Amino acid sequence: MAPPPVRCAAVVVGAGPAGLAVMGNLLERQLGGQIAWVDPYFQAGRVNRRYREVPSNTKVSLFQSYAQAVQPFRNVINSTPTPNAFSTMTKLDQNKGCHLSYAADMCRALTDGLLKLDQVYKCQGIVTAADLKNSSGWTVRIKTQNSLEEIEVVSPRLILCTGSSPTLLQIPVPGLSIRRLDLDVVLKPSELVTALPKGCSLTVAVVGGSHSAIVALMNLVDLARTSHPQLRVKWFTRHPLRYAEYMDGWILRDNTGLKGEAADFAREQLEDDRLPKSDAGRVIEKVDCSGGKDAAAYQAHLPSCTHIVQAVGFTRDPLPELTRNGAPLTPEFDHESGAFSDQNGQIIKGLYGAGIAFPERVVDPYNNVEYAVGFFKFMKFLKRVCPAWIAA
Ligand SMILES: Cc1cc2nc3c(=O)[nH]c(=O)nc-3n(C[C@H](O)[C@H](O)[C@H](O)COP(=O)(O)OP(=O)(O)OC[C@H]3O[C@@H](n4cnc5c(N)ncnc54)[C@H](O)[C@@H]3O)c2cc1C
Ligand SMILES: NC(=O)c1ccc[n+]([C@@H]2O[C@H](COP(=O)([O-])OP(=O)(O)OC[C@H]3O[C@@H](n4cnc5c(N)ncnc54)[C@H](OP(=O)(O)O)[C@@H]3O)[C@@H](O)[C@H]2O)c1
């Protein structure tokens, strides 16, 4: 017989940097009941699983600000014997970036600390479905890793921090024999080195012009310089390189512009006046796809490529099946409040989201609209919206 449902004050789905920040905020506000936290791994999400070798595009000080932002996090830091992930980070240059392994280790240490608290009900598994009943709130079904049964948790609040994965588009020229390279592999040099055959001519098509594309180019150029001297790259991009600009008290293109090592590499080696003479230019040929030239550019250049990596953004991972009294829901995210509405525009009670899949919409002093993706940005958003989530 299935165990009776557990009652909790909230169910948080996902233990990446966003789910962790939600937990910190809810625990700080003491909801008066346990909070169920669901994830198959509890190991800091994709940053740890996939991106430990990526250089951060945010300063170390922002990871520290994230870790110091709520009392439950500070309690974990104060009670963890040193040296630990926090003390290690304190020793880094605060004004520079770092490899994401440091940020991932910090999140894992915070996660381990929160999981020890009595107020946290750890569910290692996957939320498969959730039904909203007017009388009792959400009934959340969780397929746990240790049992063949699903367990149920009942709660007035369900918070989705389920993350996103690299967007896959169709290969722009159909019928080519070209191999796809997973973006996550290209962002991880230790895996990339074995993913590409050695000792033969290779041409990798890189599509995109933002952070992922530039880090992919950096890693491929490094490979051409070392283990794969016959590797060449065709870089398909449709706009000029765009950089974050530090203004008076705010950052222009804070979420879309290049920063950190990727920005330095792009400025020094990839700009049109640099590429012909730079080290990267010996490996990379830029293919201009701007102003509707993309179809002709792909037709002309893609057939000579052996591999393709698409660095064209991230797409939300599939959500659990969501219903209200058994009827399917198609939730629409409100990027201001973190709540969702249904297909008729009505607020869905107790359903919220955060993280790369559900980011805050921000408008800068020049009226540019962006979506705020980053550890400390999630934290800032949650500090603003969590009081309303709890009061509702
Ligand atoms: C390459 C790259 C580099 C980045 N670099 C930086 C940086 O330098 N600085 C910065 O501040 N930000 C950076 N970011 C942005 C952002 O911080 C990361 O994308 C971050 O991982 C997003 O966290 P998240 O919690 O939203 O999602 P994820 O890290 O993807 O976590 C989602 C979690 O939810 C779980 N999950 C999903 N579905 C279910 C389910 N049904 N049931 C249970 N669990 C589920 C997953 O297993 C996962 O653990 C970077 C992003 C990328 C892609
Ligand atoms: N730490 C790091 O250095 C690092 C590395 C990677 C990612 N990240 C973070 O991860 C998040 C996602 O970054 P991202 O770079 O993967 O994605 P992104 O910021 O969403 O950028 C996607 C890029 O792909 C281009 N694009 C989309 N469709 C295309 C198409 N059909 N053809 C050609 N180009 C296309 C877009 O161009 P248009 O603007 O023209 O649409 C844009 O330049 C961001 O928050 C970023 O900061 C950080």
Dump pLDDT digits (tens) for 364-391: 999 999 999 999 999 999 999 999 999 9
What is the arithmetic mean of pLDDT over 204-222? 98
Ligand 1 centroid to residue 45 C-alpha, Å? 5
pLDDT at 255 over 70: yes
Ligand 1 centroid to residue 4 C-alpha, Å? 32
Ligand nearest to the CA of 375: 1
The per-residue b/e assignment along 148-185, b for 16 or more CB within 10 angstroms, e otherwise, is eebbbbbbbbbbbbbbbbbeeeebbbeeeebeebbbbb
Mean pLDDT of the chain: 96
Tokens for 385, please give them. Answer: 């919206």
Percent of the chain with pLDDT strictly greater than 90: 94
Ligand 1 centroid to residue 335 C-alpha, Å? 17
Ligand nearest to the CA of 215: 2
The span from the CA of 376 to the CA of 347, in Å, is 27
Helix (H, G, I), strand (E, B) or coil at 347: strand
Counted residue by residue, the chain has a size of 392
pLDDT of residue 1: 62
pLDDT at 185 over 90: yes
The span from the CA of 261 to the CA of 257, in Å, is 12
Count the Cβ atoms, other than its own, within 10 Å of residue 272.
10
pLDDT at 147 over 90: no
What is the arithmetic mean of pLDDT over 288-317? 96
Element (H, E) at 10: strand 10-13
- Mutating to test ligand 2, I would choose from 212, 373, 381 the residue with most ligand atoms within 8 A of its C-beta, which is 212
The CATH architecture one would assign to domain 168-312 is: 3-Layer(bba) Sandwich (3.50)
64 CB-near residues (< 8 Å, 6+ apart) = 89, 90, 94
- Mutating to test ligand 1, I would choose from 23, 37, 46 the residue with most ligand atoms within 8 A of its C-beta, which is 46
Cα(first)–Cα(last) distance of the chain, in Å? 35
CATH 3.50.50.60: does it fit domain 6-165+315-391? Answer: yes
Q: Whose CA is nearest to atom 3 of ligand 2?
A: 57
Q: Where in the chain is the domain with CATH 3.50.50.60?
A: 6-165+315-391
pLDDT of residue 145: 83
177 CB-near residues (< 8 Å, 6+ apart) = none
pLDDT at 5 over 90: no
Indicate the pairing of strand 245-246 with strand 251-252: antiparallel
What is the arithmetic mean of pLDDT over 331-346? 96
pLDDT at 135 over 80: no
pLDDT-based confidence at residue 29 (cuts at 50, 70, 90): very high
pLDDT at 149 over 80: no
Ligand 1 centroid to residue 49 C-alpha, Å? 9
Nearest alpha-carbon partner for 83 in 57, 114, 106: 106
Ligand 1 centroid to residue 15 C-alpha, Å? 9
pLDDT-based confidence at residue 392 (cuts at 50, 70, 90): confident
